[in-house]
């Protein structure tokens, strides 16, 4: 915890003054990463009067289509990082695997939120589980039972109580990648060898009732806010829908998750938007799963259903402005749109544009496409959020959209 707290204190001591929007000279904010999260961040920042610079190695990225400046460089490129720091008053990241050393370099001359130490915790499943377990006295929530698998000998020492489980690579796993379900030690051995014997974490499979994500935001002054609890459904390891308010989430469970999130974000000394995923078990037990140190797919509904979107909150936090109102003004259901929607059936190989006119004709439909010109199966191409006076109405429109897009509801 000390490294995280020291980084926070150094960031705070260097510059507590807010970065106010300015037209002349312009106020610049920077983002590491040019994907759709960077794109939506840039749009939110621009609506608040900022100009945005994006550092990204790909020149055709979604964020580059909207940002005022693209610094075409790798995430570890010293010249690119220095150019970003020279241009911007504050820098953030849109994905959790940005090299921590790059954030440290930027922090030498510019305010960085979230900081390297906090991000590095979320980049390593072992460090993350250790941190979440250490937080349990304050958060009241533990992670799932788990064991580090770093060698074949570790597999022989697996306790019977950890199986069946899920074997996960320690680093670089997302959207179900780097994860294998295992029922026996033989399964663990086969999966471990197939993964190249990189260090992994074996997590016990628990009787899951449903998953929720808690979107929380913390400012550099220690103030924090928590959004309403989102209930998520995944398919093939990728988020399918997010429903808010969660139809299965009891008020007591929601309060426990929000209190846990506040404790975790405070203990981490975090600045910015942090998404924390929890499992709710069949007996009502709450288990903390993992953290995403950035705006999150499950928080996209906030753009259309809340007073302040998660991206506007990221702008506020990194600019040291007061955090925004997290009230949800309408029930909402968000549908992830993958590249599969461009193809007919499992065997179709000719892409065609979905019927966006029919989607837009649905009451309460808020369509967001990410500017990607290469639809591929499993690739996130956009999302549509349905807002309505009642949750049942929003869910009915989601069902209608699935039929139009050829997605199984």
Does residue 281 lie within any of the structural domains? Answer: yes
Same domain, 234 and 188: no
**Which residue, 141, 154, 131, is CA-closest to 201?**
154
Structure tokens at 275: 């998404």
Task: Decide: residue 362, CB within 10 A, 0-12 exposed, 13-18 middle, 19+ buried.
Answer: middle
Taking the C-alpha atoms of residue 94 and residue 77, their distance in angstroms, rounded to an integer, is 17
The beta strand positions in 22-126, using DSSP E, are: 28-32, 51-56, 69-72, 90-93, 111-112
The confidence score (pLDDT) of residue 173 equals: 62
pLDDT at res. 59: 84
Is 50 within a domain? yes
Residue 190 lies in a domain: yes
Rounded CA gap, 331 and 236, in Å? 26
If asked whether residues 221 and 154 sit together in one domain, one would say no
Same domain, 109 and 151: no
Q: What is the pLDDT along the chain (409 residues), one digit of tens a residue?
A: 444 554 544 454 445 789 999 989 999 999 999 999 999 999 999 999 999 999 999 988 999 999 999 999 999 999 999 999 999 999 999 988 899 999 999 999 999 999 999 999 999 999 999 999 999 999 999 999 999 999 999 999 999 999 999 999 998 766 557 889 999 999 999 999 999 999 999 999 999 999 999 999 999 999 999 999 999 999 988 999 999 999 999 999 999 999 999 999 999 999 999 999 999 999 999 999 999 999 999 999 999 999 999 999 999 999 999 999 999 999 999 999 999 999 987 666 788 999 999 999 999 999 999 999 999 999 999 999 999 999 999 999 999 999 999 999 8
Please give the pLDDT value at position 10. 43
What is the reported pTM?
0.94
CA dihedral (97, 102, 107, 109) in degrees, to 10, reads -150
18: domain CATH number is 3.40.50.20
**Dihedral, CA of residue 16, residue 259, residue 309 and residue 97, to nearest 10:** 70
Range list of β-strands (E), 9-72: 28-32, 51-56, 69-72
Q: Is residue 359 one of the residues assigned to a domain?
A: yes
Helix (H) or strand (E) holding 403: helix 391-405
- Do 214 and 346 belong together in one domain? yes
Tell me, yes or no, whether 268 and 335 share the same domain.
yes
Q: How many domains does the chain have?
A: 3
* Structure confidence at residue 311 (pLDDT): 98
Name every residue whose Cβ is closer than 8 Å to that of residue 201 and which is 6 or more positions away in sequence. 125, 126, 129, 146, 147, 148, 149, 167, 168, 169, 170
Q: Is residue 129 part of a domain?
A: no
User: In CATH, what number is assigned to the domain containing residue 222?
Assistant: 3.30.470.20
Domain-embedded: residue 214:
yes
Q: Coil, strand, or helix at residue 167?
A: strand
- The range of the structural domain enclosing residue 161 comes to 145-204
Does residue 181 belong to any structural domain of this protein? yes
Considering the domain architecture, whether residues 91 and 193 belong to the same structural domain is answered as: no
């Amino acid at each position: 915890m000390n490294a995280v707290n020291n980084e926070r204190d150094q960031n705070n001591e260097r510059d507590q003054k807010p970065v106010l929007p300015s037209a002349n000279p312009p106020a610049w904010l920077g983002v590491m990463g040019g994907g759709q999260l960077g794109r939506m961040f840039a749009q939110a920042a621009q609506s608040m009067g900022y100009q945005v610079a994006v550092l990204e190695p790909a020149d055709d990225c979604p964020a580059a289509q909207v940002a005022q400046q693209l610094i075409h460089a790798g995430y570890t490129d010293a010249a690119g990082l220095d150019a970003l720091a020279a241009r911007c008053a504050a820098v953030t990241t849109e994905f959790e695997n940005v090299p921590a050393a790059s954030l440290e370099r930027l922090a030498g001359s510019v305010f960085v939120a979230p900081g390297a130490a906090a991000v590095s915790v979320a980049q390593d499943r072992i460090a993350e589980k250790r941190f979440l377990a250490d937080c349990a006295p304050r958060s009241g929530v533990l992670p799932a039972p788990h064991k580090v698998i770093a060698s074949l000998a570790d597999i022989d020492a697996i306790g019977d109580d950890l199986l069946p489980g899920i074997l996960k690579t320690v680093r670089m796993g997302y959207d179900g990648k780097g994860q294998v379900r295992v029922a026996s030690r033989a399964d663990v051995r086969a999966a471990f060898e197939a993964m190249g014997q990189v260090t992994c974490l074996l997590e016990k499979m628990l009787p899951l009732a449903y998953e929720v994500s808690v979107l929380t935001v913390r400012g550099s002054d220690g103030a924090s806010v928590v959004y309403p609890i989102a209930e998520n459904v995944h398919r093939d390891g990728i988020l399918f829908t997010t429903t808010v308010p969660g139809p299965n989430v009891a008020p007591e469970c929601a309060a426990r998750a929000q209190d846990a999130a506040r404790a975790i974000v405070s203990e981490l000394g975090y600045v910015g938007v942090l998404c924390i995923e929890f499992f709710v078990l069949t007996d009502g037990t709450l288990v903390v799963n993992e953290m995403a140190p950035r705006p999150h797919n499950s928080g996209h509904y906030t753009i259309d259903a809340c007073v302040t979107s998660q991206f506007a909150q990221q702008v506020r936090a990194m600019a040291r402005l007061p955090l925004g109102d997290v009230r949800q003004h309408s029930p909402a259901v968000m549908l992830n749109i993958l590249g599969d929607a461009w193809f007919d059936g499992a065997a179709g190989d000719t892409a065609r544009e979905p019927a966006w006119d029919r989607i837009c004709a649905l009451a309460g439909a808020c369509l967001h496409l990410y500017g990607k010109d290469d639809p591929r199966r499993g690739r996130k191409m956009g999302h549509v959020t349905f807002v309505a006076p009642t949750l049942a109405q929003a869910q009915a429109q989601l069902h209608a959209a699935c039929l139009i897009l050829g997605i199984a509801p």
